[in-house]
Structure 1
Amino acid sequence: MQTISPGRWRGLRQTSLDGDVFAILAFDQRGTYRKMLPEGASYERAAEVKAEIVAALSIRASAVLLDNEYGLPSALTLARSSGLLMALEKSGYSGDATYRRIEFLPDWNVGDIRAMGASAVKLLAYYHPETGALAEEIEGVIAGVIRDSHAQGLPVFLEPLCYSLDAAVSKESAAFAELRPPVVIETARRLGALGPDVLKMEFPYDAAYHHNHDEWRAACEAISAASDVPWVLLSAGVDFATFADQARIACQAGASGWLAGRAIWKEAVTMGDADRSRFLQTTALDRMQRLVEVSQQYGRPWTQLYGMPANSPTWYKSAL
């Protein structure tokens, strides 16, 4: 069992439920979110709608993941019981669709995330383990972010997203669906070894093409076996019913919970004010509660993988 620093321990406690499992609401979307809004919606309106959704749903979440572009009002008004994760990366990527690099904002860093009172850093990385020098370059960037975050006492939630290396084969295709499970599992193995505190993983199978729950469970068990760090499942925009099944199977197979967004709240973005409020107080909160129960019933506590720093009169000399 790995011992982590007091700051990282507290950050994980602040972002998890009683029982040390995660039920995190994701709303760090920027470009995708703008496309969901009515054409011509102002910046102020985008931030306002996001804050309304977060205020309504954060009462059920162990934490909320936000962005620095539209997320400040949400961060300042989310439920007192909820932890806060902030995304570090810039939306999108540099390079072309088959050769992707992480892009950062020039005036936004780990120190800023710490200064605003967040509990953890989230880093998204487009990654494919078969890209040779590019994969090594991205691993180096990730390792640097982890070092910087840990130096600030912040845990890192690392979100690797796979992609196709063939421009003629889209990620949503049946052809890539066949390649996806080993790519996701190998990604967990390689990036988990870099020392993130939590991996935020895609479901290993594409539910549009694969429906065998035994195969789903085996692949999720392989993710758990591939890495010594806790992992949570992301929703990737699938419908709620599909994600609920995926989250249950992932947690039964060793995941420590979920970190989900659009599967819970996407309908609310395009609704009028009254319909949105009603949807959030009924359907969306019900979805949150159902997923919280999945984490609580089936999730693997992250404390099975991490230990507290040892106490002594001079603990601070070695634990910080």
Structure 2
Amino acid sequence: MHLSRIQHDLGSITLLDLSCLAELISQSQSEKSLPNQKIDLSTIINSSSQALTEHVSGVIFEPINGFEAITQKNDDCGLALALTDKSEQHQPTELPTFYPNWGVEFVRHNYGLAYLKLFYHPGEPKASEKIQLVAEVYDHCLYEGIDLVLEISLFALNDQKNTLEEFQEAQLLAVQDFRDKCHLMALEYAHSALACATLTAQLDVPWILVDRTPNYAEFKEQVRIAMESGAMGATLGQVLWQGLEVDQYQQAVTTTVRDRVIELDRIIQESLSAK
């Protein structure tokens, strides 16, 4: 499968990330000290697949939690399948953890694009190993005839929080390290229109924005700025559930969450058509 499968007619990409729900629910229960509260993850993912995929161009699933909900997605919605399990990667300096008994060939068998989530910093000790790993995955995707989406999550070295300048410099270097090793890059907000435009200029492949802010209103503005600065779309994940209690998730799928998906997709499509 190729990028066109997860694009709207004019080329924009609204990618619903359902692979984040297991980790999000686990975190929410832990923060609220409700570890024993019964939450039916599969039902939430299944309902989300049914109610939300008609409003987006593509959806991300993982091969374990809720995988069967693929059959419930809208036929016009493209599919991306996660290769790596970020919840099992305990330190960002580690190499990514791949799902067991899963790989690029299985993604192709399920008619999806491969989605690789990577923690990265260009100055980390294992930077070259991560670059080589992504290159090998990319080559495997080329061999199997499917496209690779690479999501890069930057982290700070030595447990020190990056300054704005350090973040932007590291992100730019990361883009340069991987721009020839994927078909689409998913990036965090670069904190300004100029920085987003600089990313666009450095890339030979399209890029989309990843939701990293827990604030929905803030993310909407980030999407607008990124789209005006060359981005092709965005992933919609944890930000959709912002402000909701975990026991409200199921009901919110057809109310608050759906409304947010529709609004963000409209912003993405209108921003691209206005270019």
Structure ID, larger Rg:
1
Aligned residues: 269
2:209–2:233: 8 Å Cα contact kept in structure 1?
Answer: yes
Q: Distance in 1 between matches of 2:272 and 2:176?
A: 20
2:24–2:238: 8 Å Cα contact kept in structure 1?
Answer: no
The residue aligned with 1:13 is 4
2:53–2:73: 8 Å Cα contact kept in structure 1?
Answer: yes
Aligned mate of 2:236, from 260, 263, 269:
260
Q: Distance in 2 between matches of 1:75 and 1:266?
A: 24
1:24–1:61: 8 Å Cα contact kept in structure 2?
Answer: yes
**TM-aligned CA deviation for residue 68 of structure 1:** 1.1
The residue aligned with 1:247 is 223
**TM-aligned CA deviation for residue 220 of structure 1:** 0.3
Amino acid at match of 2:267: V
Amino acid at match of 1:257: G
Aligned mate of 1:127, from 115, 120, 131:
120
Q: Aligned Cα RMSD in Å? A: 2.3
Amino acid at match of 2:95: R
**TM-aligned CA deviation for residue 36 of structure 1:** 2.7
Structure 1 residues without counterparts, runs of 5 or longer? 1-6, 206-215, 302-320
**TM-aligned CA deviation for residue 94 of structure 1:** 4.8
Amino acid at match of 1:126: F
1:48–1:73: 8 Å Cα contact kept in structure 2?
Answer: no
Q: Distance in 1 between matches of 2:83 and 2:28?
A: 22
* TM-score, with length taken from structure 2: 0.89
Q: Distance in 2 between matches of 1:202 and 1:163?
A: 11
Aligned mate of 1:280, from 217, 228, 253:
253
1:227/1:241 CA distance change after superposition, 3 Å: same
**TM-aligned CA deviation for residue 289 of structure 1:** 2.0
Structure 1 position 289 matched with structure 2 position 275 = no
Structure 1 position 35 matched with structure 2 position 27 = yes
Q: Distance in 2 between matches of 1:94 and 1:263?
A: 22
1:71-150 equivalence runs, <5 A? 71-92=66-87, 94=89, 96-97=91-92, 99-118=93-112, 120-131=113-124, 134-150=126-142
Amino acid at match of 2:118: A
Amino acid at match of 2:199: I
SS in 2 for 1:23: strand
Aligned mate of 1:191, from 153, 171, 178:
178
2:236–2:261: 8 Å Cα contact kept in structure 1?
Answer: no
Q: Distance in 2 between matches of 1:106 and 1:112?
A: 11
Amino acid at match of 1:74: A
SS in 1 for 2:55: coil
The residue aligned with 2:13 is 22
Amino acid at match of 2:216: F
Q: Distance in 1 between matches of 2:133 and 2:24?
A: 24
Which contiguous aligned blocks of 4+ residues in structure 1 show a shift greater than 6 angstroms?
Answer: none
The residue aligned with 2:146 is 154
SS in 2 for 1:259: strand
Structure 2 residues without counterparts, runs of 5 or longer? none
The one-character-per-residue Cα deviations of 1:6-53 (angstroms, maximum 9, x if unpaired) are: x5xxx212111110110111111233332335523568x211112212
**TM-aligned CA deviation for residue 128 of structure 1:** 0.6
